Structure 1
Amino acid sequence: MTIEIRVLQALRLKGRAKADMIASAAGLSEAEATPVLAAAQAAGHAEEAKDRFKLTPDGRAHLRGMIARERSGVDQDALSAAYHEFDTHNSAFKQLVTDWQLKDGGTPNDHTDADYDAKIVARLGELHTGFAPLVDRIVGLAPRLAHYPPRFADALAKVSAGDHGWLARPLIDSYHTVWFELHEDLIGLLGLSRAEEAAAGRAE
């Protein structure tokens, strides 16, 4: 069931995506994800058009049911405490992304100032160092989320190597994309909603 939830959750988060993108988001190889997608299609939980997959309404209901069953086996008090810690890191990360996109509080960052960008990348490394142990604890509480630490590490390595698109670019497994998806998984495992989190100022 773990692989099925990973694949269907990746499909929900991506909206409409090719098999390789779904596999990457699920922390699987394409060879592992493809039969799960085929089974989801056969069950009426997913549909494919022009090499892109999306969840059906039945698939969304099926996924909600699986996550609800998974939730019952997760220590909610411990996960809630971890989520409160996550919120502190989330605030810092949101500010980091804002500073990456805007300079001086409002001027778009055209990324021609190498020193400025280097300082943001250094901040990301420091944030990751402080955040990674919390992610490991979360994985200990919800093992299905074990694909997140390597995804964060991979995005950070690419940013640190100079490919700065991996900090916040959408449509790839950038650090921001992985952060958003972990946040969504935590919201689901705690029985919260994105609307509630947005109202509380905790949405990305």
Structure 2
Amino acid sequence: MSELTVLQAVRLKGRVTFTELAATLVEDAAGVAETVEQLIASGLMVGGAVLKLTDRGRARLSELLDEERTGVDATALAAVYDEFRPVNADFKAVATDWQLKAGEPNTHDDSDYDAAVLNRLNDLHQRAMAIIAAAAGHVPRLGVYAVKLQRALDKINSGETVWLTRPMIDSYHTVWFELHEELILVTGLTREDEASAGHAQ
């Protein structure tokens, strides 16, 4: 389990239990535990009931992300991110339409309406899988997002629709937000850059 992968996962979560961390990494707990212990021992992470990065950990993660960017094809990744932007806009529309209907909170009493929204999600998911595969061709660690989105989608399609937008779990929306953050970082952009361009989630 790489130092970068674990540090980035904890940064994206802010504060996370070990069980949550192992689940979001989609990795064997023993391998994650070994890396976590090393990071705590080196002062990059605080242990206990929840894990979080220290200031040194954040600085180290920034260095590792900078190193990662120097080893990838920036032009190719920028092209991947350009493909992601319209899909991101479509996902935001799906999430909004799931939560609202005709401008009012969606009470989910109209099964036809909800089914139409979920059909759009499933179509969008296939587009997202292609983009993740392209991104992972340059940054392999991003491939896990395909697994995490599929896991959330399977729960949604089995009737557990809270896995579409619920915060504090690896819902489709949570994973999507983290994927967006990752793509921004590997292309050398910032949330501020994206917000000013009207693309931030």
Partner of 1:92: 90
Distance 2:188 2:16 in 1: 26
Partner of 1:10: 9
Partner of 1:188: 185
Q: RMSD value over aligned CA atoms?
A: 1.3
Equivalent positions of 1:33-72 (< 5 A) are 33-49=32-48, 51-72=49-70
Structure 2 residue 123 is matched with structure 1 residue 126: yes
Distance 1:149 1:91 in 2: 18
Aligned-partner residue type, residue 8 of structure 1 = L
Aligned residues: 201
Return 5+ residue gaps in structure 1 as ranges.
none
Q: Is the 8 A contact 1:18 1:52 kept in 2?
A: yes
User: Match of 1:92, SS?
Assistant: helix
Distance 1:16 1:190 in 2: 25
Structure 2 residue 134 is matched with structure 1 residue 137: yes
Structure 2 residue 36 is matched with structure 1 residue 27: no
User: Structure 1 residue 60: deviation in Å?
Assistant: 0.5
TM-score by length of 1: 0.94
TM-score by length of 2: 0.95
Return 5+ residue gaps in structure 2 as ranges.
none
1:74-118 residue CA offsets vs partner (Å, 9 max, x unmatched):
1100000010110010000011101111111x2011222222111
Percent of aligned pairs sharing the same letter:
45
User: Structure 1 residue 38: deviation in Å?
Assistant: 1.1
Q: Is the 8 A contact 1:27 1:147 kept in 2?
A: yes
Equivalent positions of 1:152-163 (< 5 A) are 152-163=149-160
Q: Is the 8 A contact 1:7 1:23 kept in 2?
A: no
User: Structure 1 residue 12: deviation in Å?
Assistant: 0.3
